[in-house]
Amino acid sequence: MSCRIVFVLFPGFQQLDLAGPMAVFELARLQQPDSYHWRLVASRAGTARSSAGVDWPVQGLPRVCGEGDLVMVIGGDGVDAAGRDTRLVRWLQRASRSGARIASICSGSLLLAAAGLLDERGATTHWSRSRQFATEFPAVRLQPDRIYVREPASSRAGPARRPELWTSAGMTAGIDLCLALVAHDCGEALAREAARQLVVERRRPGGQSQFSPLLELQRPEGRFGALLDEIRRDLRQDHRVEALAARMCMSPRHFARSFVAETGATPAQVVERLRVEAARAALESGQPSVQRIAQDCGFGSTERMRRSFQRLLGRPPASLRKRG
């Protein structure tokens, strides 16, 4: 296979968001010379200044993108201004309609959201942008607990067809996303070799959200801090939206919207994370019964707990059991 990558930059982009992914594709190309080639583009040809003050040479936006191309939007502090660049936004919309794959690194997903490319689709972003993202783009199914999210191309034909979509969380999560892309395009062996050369894990076991303050809502101004403390104290209770809303004397719809606006995550996502964190602590402390832990942490069954661990931590509960 041969893939043209179009790295999209803007004033104030983050250099690590570009350098990490570029290194992954460079290593893949060393093994398979025809696998990837790329160009750096921006709304205007010339240079794009990074947030570190370094100018990078860029070409103008290409006229045509199509199947076989990968459009990758880099993140950075300048992403909000980039979302107001109508020339760039319209170009991204055309690239999406053309059938090119679309990807973003870190906060670059906000630019994709501003272009309407993420509506009704799953996506993630840097944890520090999750609250802003959820407030400004409620039509996106934000998944702040994921390192990266892949949305396959829609099966419908014609102009309504939506392309394959990849979004990543924090800066180094862009490396995880690109290793997954290499595995998808060229095979797992090549992705493993690229990871070995970069001295990173091929499949990172932890989630970006473990470093996120989303669940640290114990500050006095946190409206839902007391509720979260109550959930932590008894994870076995009914913590569905309707039950939580009743405890807050709010309608389920108003509660869900307010919760997402404050935390950047849905109530279900937060409850699942709290259960996983409690179960992980129990496993690492050496508690012997996985079934008992699943019951005490509110999963109901070991299979439900296993699925949550795989989704949020990338590994099964058994891998966390304390070794003698």
CATH of segment(s) 212-320: 1.10.10.60
pLDDT (0 to 100) of residue 233: 87
- For residue range 99-145, what is the model confidence (pLDDT) as tens digits? 899 999 999 999 999 999 999 999 999 988 988 999 999 999 998 87
pLDDT (0 to 100) of residue 104: 98
Confidence class for position 197, pLDDT limits 50, 70, 90: very high
- For residue range 48-100, what is the model confidence (pLDDT) as tens digits? 999 999 999 999 999 988 888 999 999 999 999 999 999 999 999 999 999 89
Q: Which of 10-14, 217-221, 229-233, 284-288 has the lowest mean pLDDT?
A: 217-221
Q: Which CATH class is domain 3-208?
A: alpha beta
Confidence class for position 273, pLDDT limits 50, 70, 90: confident
> CB neighbours (10 Å) of residue 130?
24
Q: What is the pTM of this model?
A: 0.71
**3-208 and 212-320 share one fold:** no
Work out the percent of the chain whose per-residue pLDDT is above 70.
90
pLDDT (0 to 100) of residue 42: 98
Domain boundaries, the chain: 3-208, 212-320
Distance (Å, rounded) from C-alpha 99 to C-alpha 161? 8
DSSP 137-201: -TTSEE-TT-SEEEEPPPS--STT----EEEE-STTHHHHHHHHHHHHHH-HHHHHHHHHHHTS-
Does the structure show a pLDDT above 50 at 164?
yes
Does the structure show a pLDDT above 80 at 33?
yes
* CA atoms lying within 13 Å on the CB side of residue 146: 18
Tokens standing for 246?
């009743």
